[in-house]
Amino acid sequence: MDHFLYRDGELYAEDVPVADIAAAVGTPFYLYSTATLTRHFQLFDDALDGMEHMVCYAMKAASNQAILKTLADLGAGMDVVSGGEYARAKAAGVPGDRIVFSGVGKTRSEIRAALEGGIRQFNVESEPELFVISEIAESLGKTAPITVRVNPDVDAKTHAKIATGKSENKFGIPIAKARAVYAEAATLPGIDVIGIDVHIGSQLTDLAPYELAYLKVAELTEQLRADGHDIRRLDLGGGLGIPYTRSNEAPPLPSDYGALIKRTLGHLDCEIEIEPGRLIAGNAGILVSRVIYVKEGEGRNFLILDGAMNDLIRPAMYDAHHDIVPVVEPVPGAEQQPYDIVGPVCESGDTFARNRMMPPLQAGDLVAFRSAGAYGAVMASEYNTRPLVPEVLAKGDQFAVIRERPDFDEIINRDTIPPWL
């Protein structure tokens, strides 16, 4: 469910007409709904009711500080994967003890900054990383709480570029090696082994891979406790998928996911962390764009938009589908025709959809890409010297620009011409 609905023939974001925001901000732009962010966070929080838990938002999905503060005010922790994301979370007012640091390539400066600024835990992905964290923590006179990310070799049955839990993926330590790594960690100064971390991928639409992974984690927890480790926290990652189409095939609900966690891990009396990102932010955002031209081609017609692959790269990178709808609601029974929906970037890959059935549109009309809140704005670029797409947040009948569109001078003035030119 989201809060982008037609009302009186116009698409609204909560109680604000999308066309009014377009007139004020210009296109293209990302638009988020506070009510949808709130609802989706609450679904996860409620799903784990009765267990000690923390929902740590995976902020790589959408990391604007306004989004982070909205979720933090609801009680969310943050899952970060870089020093920049850590700094963003702190700037949004999230205390260090609510920030989990994940990622395979944490640098020394990132580790030091997190230890100095406060951290809930590091999710350690390799033995070399473990040694570095120990060295830095000892030099600072601090103790680093850590979990070890184990790779359970479970096929998440998702897109190859977002699968993370198979043996050939770069993430984590093979689960067969975990006991030896935990034994080593227990001997290191500056290290407090508190739990286990697992994350098998993104956009999962079936709970079966989770069950396989979590049963392996339950078995490992018992083994590590028998080895003398105080395993008191289980970080289960995120990855639950969202419906990118309006079909009847819906991914599992957070309530079903929570029930699975309770069934497979509830007997262990561990604090549970989950790290949803896409399901919280995905359907909470749309990308609004304007038709520049309607072009008749050889055997096909094109809708050429002012939004491009640099604004929303998911279709080009993942062959991802986004429903694209007109901002003015089509009249009932309006005849549709197929269009290739493309952007203005000089790449054939700048194509959002092929042969997509759409109602008649003309230059100047607005369209909205649904389910664009996750991995949209955060992956945008200034390719072709196209200004970075702005972001807008709606709440009730209000909206605010939460990231401005830079002008050309601002973009160009970041360059520095060396003295010999």
Residues involved in catalysis: 346
- Amino acid 198 reads V
Q: How many CB atoms lie within 10 A of CB 252?
A: 17
d(CA 76, CA 377): 21
Closest Cα partner for 49 from 276, 261, 268, 284? 261
Closest Cα partner for 42 from 75, 13, 67? 75
Question: Three-state SS string across the chain, please?
Answer: CCCEEEECCEEEECCEEHHHHHHHHCCCEEEEEHHHHHHHHHHHHHHCCCCCEEEEEECCCCCCHHHHHHHHCCCCEEEECCHHHHHHHHHCCCCHHHEEECCCCCCHHHHHHHHHHCCCEEEECCHHHHHHHHHHHHHHCCCEEEEEEEECCCCCCCCHHHECCCCCCCCCEEHHHHHHHHHHHCCCCCEEEEEEECCCECCECCCHHHHHHHHHHHHHHHHHHHCCCCCCEEECCCCECCCCCCCCCCCCCHHHHHHHHHHHHHHHCCEEEECCCHHHHHHHEEEEEEEEEEEECCCCEEEEECCCCCCCCHHHHHCCCCCEEECECCCCCCCCEEEEEECCCCCCCCEEEEEEEECCCCCCCEEEECCCCCCCHHHCCCHHHCCCCCEEEEECCEEEEEECCCCHHHHHCCCCCCCCC
Closest Cα partner for 327 from 17, 86, 79? 17
Closest Cα partner for 59 from 71, 43, 48? 71
